[in-house]
Amino acid sequence: MSDKKNHDDLDYETTGHEWDGIKEYNKPLPKWWLYTFYACIVWAIGYSIAYPAWPGIKAATPGLLGFSTRVNVAKAIEAHEAELAPINAKLAAADLGAIADDQELLTYANNAGAAVFLTWCAQCHGSGAAGAKGYPNLLDDDWLWGGSIEAIHETVSHGIRNEVDDMARWSEMPAFGRDELLVEEEIVQAVNYVMQLSGQTPKDTNAAEAGAEVFEINCSGCHMEDGTGDRYQGAPNLTDAIWLYGGDYDSLYQTVYNSRFGVMPPMGGAELSEAEIRAVATYVHGLGGGEASED
Protein backbone atom coordinates (compact mmCIF):
# COMPACT_ATOMS: atom_id res chain seq x y z
CA MET A 1 0.00 0.00 0.00
CA SER A 2 1.14 3.49 -0.71
CA ASP A 3 1.40 6.04 2.02
CA LYS A 4 -0.88 9.02 1.73
CA LYS A 5 1.09 12.20 1.98
CA ASN A 6 -0.39 14.81 4.25
CA HIS A 7 0.35 18.36 3.16
CA ASP A 8 -1.77 19.99 5.83
CA ASP A 9 1.28 20.56 8.02
CA LEU A 10 3.31 22.15 5.21
CA ASP A 11 3.58 25.91 5.17
CA TYR A 12 2.00 26.69 1.73
CA GLU A 13 -0.14 29.72 1.05
CA THR A 14 -3.47 28.77 -0.55
CA THR A 15 -6.19 30.74 -2.27
CA GLY A 16 -8.73 29.47 0.19
CA HIS A 17 -10.45 27.30 -2.40
CA GLU A 18 -10.94 23.64 -1.48
CA TRP A 19 -12.88 20.83 -3.15
CA ASP A 20 -12.95 17.21 -2.05
CA GLY A 21 -9.91 17.74 0.08
CA ILE A 22 -7.98 19.38 -2.73
CA LYS A 23 -6.65 22.83 -1.99
CA GLU A 24 -5.52 25.39 -4.55
CA TYR A 25 -2.09 26.77 -3.79
CA ASN A 26 -1.41 30.41 -4.41
CA LYS A 27 1.46 30.25 -6.90
CA PRO A 28 1.47 33.54 -8.87
CA LEU A 29 3.39 33.88 -12.15
CA PRO A 30 6.97 35.14 -11.92
CA LYS A 31 7.35 38.90 -11.99
CA TRP A 32 9.47 38.80 -15.16
CA TRP A 33 6.69 36.95 -16.99
CA LEU A 34 4.06 39.46 -15.91
CA TYR A 35 6.25 42.42 -16.87
CA THR A 36 6.90 40.87 -20.26
CA PHE A 37 3.16 40.36 -20.77
CA TYR A 38 2.38 43.94 -19.81
CA ALA A 39 5.14 45.20 -22.10
CA CYS A 40 3.60 43.25 -25.01
CA ILE A 41 0.25 44.89 -24.34
CA VAL A 42 1.83 48.33 -24.35
CA TRP A 43 3.76 47.46 -27.54
CA ALA A 44 0.57 46.21 -29.26
CA ILE A 45 -1.29 49.42 -28.39
CA GLY A 46 1.60 51.53 -29.67
CA TYR A 47 1.83 49.46 -32.86
CA SER A 48 -1.89 49.85 -33.56
CA ILE A 49 -1.50 53.62 -33.15
CA ALA A 50 1.63 53.92 -35.29
CA TYR A 51 0.58 51.57 -38.12
CA PRO A 52 -2.70 50.84 -39.95
CA ALA A 53 -4.65 48.51 -37.70
CA TRP A 54 -8.23 49.22 -36.70
CA PRO A 55 -10.88 48.52 -39.35
CA GLY A 56 -13.41 51.21 -40.07
CA ILE A 57 -16.52 51.47 -42.22
CA LYS A 58 -14.62 52.51 -45.34
CA ALA A 59 -10.99 51.97 -44.43
CA ALA A 60 -8.65 51.07 -41.61
CA THR A 61 -6.99 53.64 -39.41
CA PRO A 62 -3.95 54.95 -41.32
CA GLY A 63 -1.56 55.07 -38.36
CA LEU A 64 0.62 58.00 -37.25
CA LEU A 65 3.58 56.89 -39.38
CA GLY A 66 1.55 56.83 -42.60
CA PHE A 67 2.89 53.38 -43.56
CA SER A 68 1.05 51.59 -46.40
CA THR A 69 1.98 48.34 -48.12
CA ARG A 70 -0.32 49.33 -50.99
CA VAL A 71 1.67 52.51 -51.54
CA ASN A 72 4.94 50.57 -51.38
CA VAL A 73 3.71 48.01 -53.94
CA ALA A 74 2.40 50.78 -56.21
CA LYS A 75 5.78 52.52 -56.07
CA ALA A 76 7.57 49.25 -56.84
CA ILE A 77 5.28 48.61 -59.83
CA GLU A 78 5.77 52.19 -61.04
CA ALA A 79 9.54 51.82 -60.80
CA HIS A 80 9.43 48.49 -62.64
CA GLU A 81 7.26 49.93 -65.41
CA ALA A 82 9.62 52.88 -65.76
CA GLU A 83 12.53 50.48 -66.09
CA LEU A 84 10.76 48.53 -68.84
CA ALA A 85 9.36 51.60 -70.62
CA PRO A 86 12.14 51.84 -73.24
CA ILE A 87 11.91 48.24 -74.42
CA ASN A 88 8.09 48.31 -74.27
CA ALA A 89 8.11 51.40 -76.47
CA LYS A 90 10.49 49.64 -78.85
CA LEU A 91 8.23 46.57 -78.95
CA ALA A 92 5.08 48.63 -79.50
CA ALA A 93 6.67 50.46 -82.44
CA ALA A 94 8.42 47.49 -84.05
CA ASP A 95 7.17 45.86 -87.21
CA LEU A 96 5.49 42.62 -86.20
CA GLY A 97 7.38 40.61 -88.77
CA ALA A 98 10.72 42.06 -87.67
CA ILE A 99 10.48 41.18 -83.96
CA ALA A 100 12.05 37.78 -84.59
CA ASP A 101 15.10 39.47 -86.16
CA ASP A 102 15.95 41.34 -82.95
CA GLN A 103 17.15 38.76 -80.43
CA GLU A 104 16.87 41.07 -77.42
CA LEU A 105 13.36 42.13 -78.38
CA LEU A 106 12.33 38.55 -79.20
CA THR A 107 13.57 37.26 -75.83
CA TYR A 108 11.76 40.01 -73.96
CA ALA A 109 8.55 39.51 -75.98
CA ASN A 110 8.53 35.77 -75.31
CA ASN A 111 9.14 36.20 -71.58
CA ALA A 112 6.60 39.00 -71.21
CA GLY A 113 4.15 37.20 -73.49
CA ALA A 114 4.30 34.06 -71.36
CA ALA A 115 3.34 36.10 -68.29
CA VAL A 116 0.51 37.83 -70.14
CA PHE A 117 -0.72 34.47 -71.46
CA LEU A 118 -0.86 32.91 -68.00
CA THR A 119 -2.79 35.91 -66.68
CA TRP A 120 -5.26 36.53 -69.52
CA CYS A 121 -5.38 33.47 -71.79
CA ALA A 122 -4.67 30.31 -69.81
CA GLN A 123 -8.16 30.27 -68.26
CA CYS A 124 -9.57 29.17 -71.63
CA HIS A 125 -6.62 27.82 -73.61
CA GLY A 126 -4.92 26.11 -70.65
CA SER A 127 -1.60 26.95 -69.03
CA GLY A 128 0.16 24.88 -71.67
CA ALA A 129 -1.93 26.37 -74.52
CA ALA A 130 -3.26 22.93 -75.50
CA GLY A 131 -6.84 24.21 -75.34
CA ALA A 132 -9.97 22.29 -74.40
CA LYS A 133 -13.35 21.50 -75.89
CA GLY A 134 -14.56 24.77 -77.38
CA TYR A 135 -11.18 26.46 -76.89
CA PRO A 136 -8.59 26.10 -79.69
CA ASN A 137 -5.28 24.35 -79.26
CA LEU A 138 -2.58 26.96 -79.90
CA LEU A 139 0.26 24.45 -80.20
CA ASP A 140 -0.65 23.01 -83.60
CA ASP A 141 -0.79 24.60 -87.05
CA ASP A 142 -4.57 24.39 -87.42
CA TRP A 143 -5.75 28.00 -87.31
CA LEU A 144 -9.31 29.24 -87.62
CA TRP A 145 -8.40 32.85 -88.44
CA GLY A 146 -4.77 32.55 -89.52
CA GLY A 147 -1.50 31.70 -87.82
CA SER A 148 0.80 34.50 -88.92
CA ILE A 149 1.92 36.90 -86.22
CA GLU A 150 -0.15 39.64 -87.87
CA ALA A 151 -3.29 37.46 -87.80
CA ILE A 152 -2.68 36.44 -84.19
CA HIS A 153 -2.13 40.08 -83.23
CA GLU A 154 -5.46 41.04 -84.80
CA THR A 155 -7.28 38.20 -83.06
CA VAL A 156 -5.83 39.12 -79.67
CA SER A 157 -6.48 42.83 -80.17
CA HIS A 158 -10.11 42.66 -81.29
CA GLY A 159 -11.34 39.23 -80.22
CA ILE A 160 -13.91 37.02 -81.90
CA ARG A 161 -17.70 37.39 -82.07
CA ASN A 162 -17.92 39.85 -79.20
CA GLU A 163 -20.15 42.90 -79.03
CA VAL A 164 -17.52 45.08 -77.39
CA ASP A 165 -15.16 45.71 -80.30
CA ASP A 166 -16.55 46.83 -83.65
CA MET A 167 -13.51 45.30 -85.34
CA ALA A 168 -13.95 41.87 -83.77
CA ARG A 169 -13.65 38.90 -86.11
CA TRP A 170 -17.14 37.74 -86.91
CA SER A 171 -18.86 34.76 -88.45
CA GLU A 172 -21.90 32.74 -87.48
CA MET A 173 -22.84 29.20 -88.36
CA PRO A 174 -26.55 28.63 -88.95
CA ALA A 175 -28.39 26.33 -86.56
CA PHE A 176 -29.68 24.08 -89.31
CA GLY A 177 -31.90 21.97 -87.06
CA ARG A 178 -32.98 24.43 -84.40
CA ASP A 179 -33.98 27.03 -86.98
CA GLU A 180 -35.53 24.36 -89.24
CA LEU A 181 -33.26 25.12 -92.17
CA LEU A 182 -32.79 21.41 -92.80
CA VAL A 183 -34.99 18.44 -92.05
CA GLU A 184 -33.78 15.60 -89.84
CA GLU A 185 -32.84 13.39 -92.77
CA GLU A 186 -30.67 16.10 -94.32
CA ILE A 187 -28.90 16.75 -91.02
CA VAL A 188 -28.07 13.05 -90.66
CA GLN A 189 -26.80 13.00 -94.23
CA ALA A 190 -24.61 16.07 -93.70
CA VAL A 191 -23.13 14.68 -90.46
CA ASN A 192 -22.25 11.37 -92.09
CA TYR A 193 -20.69 13.17 -95.04
CA VAL A 194 -18.52 15.31 -92.75
CA MET A 195 -17.36 12.17 -90.95
CA GLN A 196 -16.38 10.72 -94.30
CA LEU A 197 -14.59 13.94 -95.27
CA SER A 198 -12.33 13.67 -92.21
CA GLY A 199 -11.38 10.06 -92.93
CA GLN A 200 -13.76 8.51 -90.40
CA THR A 201 -16.14 5.67 -91.09
CA PRO A 202 -19.61 7.19 -91.41
CA LYS A 203 -22.44 5.78 -89.38
CA ASP A 204 -24.46 5.34 -92.56
CA THR A 205 -22.58 5.14 -95.87
CA ASN A 206 -25.75 5.71 -97.93
CA ALA A 207 -26.50 8.84 -95.91
CA ALA A 208 -22.93 10.01 -96.44
CA GLU A 209 -23.30 9.74 -100.20
CA ALA A 210 -26.53 11.73 -100.12
CA GLY A 211 -24.90 14.23 -97.75
CA ALA A 212 -22.48 15.41 -100.43
CA GLU A 213 -25.25 17.39 -102.09
CA VAL A 214 -26.55 18.72 -98.77
CA PHE A 215 -23.04 19.86 -97.90
CA GLU A 216 -22.46 21.54 -101.26
CA ILE A 217 -25.70 23.52 -101.04
CA ASN A 218 -25.60 24.50 -97.37
CA CYS A 219 -22.03 24.26 -96.09
CA SER A 220 -19.55 24.79 -98.92
CA GLY A 221 -20.06 28.55 -98.90
CA CYS A 222 -17.99 28.72 -95.70
CA HIS A 223 -16.16 25.41 -95.48
CA MET A 224 -15.39 25.31 -99.23
CA GLU A 225 -16.44 22.53 -101.59
CA ASP A 226 -13.58 20.31 -100.48
CA GLY A 227 -14.24 20.98 -96.79
CA THR A 228 -10.84 22.57 -96.11
CA GLY A 229 -12.42 25.67 -94.58
CA ASP A 230 -11.94 29.41 -95.01
CA ARG A 231 -9.86 31.45 -92.60
CA TYR A 232 -11.41 34.72 -93.72
CA GLN A 233 -14.66 33.48 -92.19
CA GLY A 234 -13.19 31.46 -89.35
CA ALA A 235 -14.66 28.33 -90.93
CA PRO A 236 -12.69 25.28 -89.75
CA ASN A 237 -11.06 22.65 -91.91
CA LEU A 238 -13.32 19.58 -91.81
CA THR A 239 -10.92 17.23 -93.57
CA ASP A 240 -8.38 16.79 -90.75
CA ALA A 241 -8.65 15.07 -87.39
CA ILE A 242 -8.63 18.31 -85.37
CA TRP A 243 -11.99 19.19 -83.86
CA LEU A 244 -12.90 22.13 -81.67
CA TYR A 245 -16.11 20.60 -80.32
CA GLY A 246 -15.58 16.93 -81.09
CA GLY A 247 -15.57 14.87 -84.29
CA ASP A 248 -17.72 11.91 -83.26
CA TYR A 249 -21.22 11.48 -84.67
CA ASP A 250 -23.09 12.89 -81.67
CA SER A 251 -20.84 15.96 -81.38
CA LEU A 252 -21.09 16.70 -85.10
CA TYR A 253 -24.85 16.25 -84.98
CA GLN A 254 -25.12 18.82 -82.18
CA THR A 255 -22.89 21.19 -84.12
CA VAL A 256 -25.02 20.98 -87.25
CA TYR A 257 -28.31 21.01 -85.41
CA ASN A 258 -27.67 23.79 -82.87
CA SER A 259 -24.59 25.53 -84.31
CA ARG A 260 -21.56 26.71 -82.29
CA PHE A 261 -20.81 30.27 -81.26
CA GLY A 262 -17.48 30.68 -79.51
CA VAL A 263 -16.65 34.16 -78.20
CA MET A 264 -13.28 35.69 -77.39
CA PRO A 265 -13.05 39.09 -75.66
CA PRO A 266 -10.87 41.83 -77.12
CA MET A 267 -7.62 42.41 -75.29
CA GLY A 268 -6.85 45.76 -76.88
CA GLY A 269 -7.69 49.11 -75.34
CA ALA A 270 -8.41 48.96 -71.62
CA GLU A 271 -7.21 45.40 -71.02
CA LEU A 272 -3.69 45.19 -72.46
CA SER A 273 -1.23 47.72 -73.82
CA GLU A 274 0.03 47.47 -77.39
CA ALA A 275 3.36 46.15 -76.13
CA GLU A 276 1.60 43.43 -74.11
CA ILE A 277 -0.53 42.41 -77.09
CA ARG A 278 2.54 42.16 -79.31
CA ALA A 279 4.34 40.20 -76.59
CA VAL A 280 1.60 37.61 -76.23
CA ALA A 281 1.15 37.41 -80.02
CA THR A 282 4.88 36.71 -80.33
CA TYR A 283 4.68 34.10 -77.59
CA VAL A 284 1.71 32.27 -79.15
CA HIS A 285 3.26 32.47 -82.60
CA GLY A 286 6.37 30.78 -81.25
CA LEU A 287 4.60 27.91 -79.51
CA GLY A 288 5.01 25.67 -82.53
CA GLY A 289 2.28 26.38 -85.04
CA GLY A 290 3.10 29.92 -86.09
CA GLU A 291 3.11 30.67 -89.79
CA ALA A 292 5.17 33.02 -91.91
CA SER A 293 4.33 36.72 -91.80
CA GLU A 294 1.83 38.06 -94.27
CA ASP A 295 3.13 40.04 -97.22
Q: Taking the domains of the chain in order of start, what are their residue ranges?
A: 99-170+269-290, 184-258
Contacts of 217 (CB under 8 A, 6+ apart): none
pLDDT of residue 79: 98
Q: What percent of the chain has pLDDT over 90?
A: 82
pLDDT of residue 6: 56
End-to-end CA distance of the chain: 105
- Look up the pTM and report it: 0.80
pLDDT tens-digit readout, 203-236 = 999 999 999 999 999 999 999 999 999 999 999 9
Could you tell me which of 243, 231, 229 has the C-alpha nearest to residue 195?
243
pLDDT of residue 13: 79
Q: Which CATH class is domain 99-170+269-290?
A: mainly alpha
pLDDT of residue 270: 78
Picking from 20-29, 114-123, 130-139, 245-254, which range would have the lowest pLDDT averaged per residue?
20-29
pLDDT of residue 14: 81
pLDDT of residue 295: 63
pLDDT tens-digit readout, 7-34 = 555 567 787 787 888 888 888 889 999 9
pLDDT tens-digit readout, 133-158 = 999 999 999 999 999 999 999 999 99
The Cα 236–Cα 227 span in angstroms is 8
pLDDT of residue 22: 85
Grade residue 164 by pLDDT with cuts at 50, 70 and 90: very high
Architecture of domain 184-258: Orthogonal Bundle (1.10)
pLDDT of residue 19: 84
pLDDT of residue 96: 95
Residue 3 vs residues 8, 19, 20, 23, 158: alpha-carbon distances, Å: 15, 21, 19, 19, 92
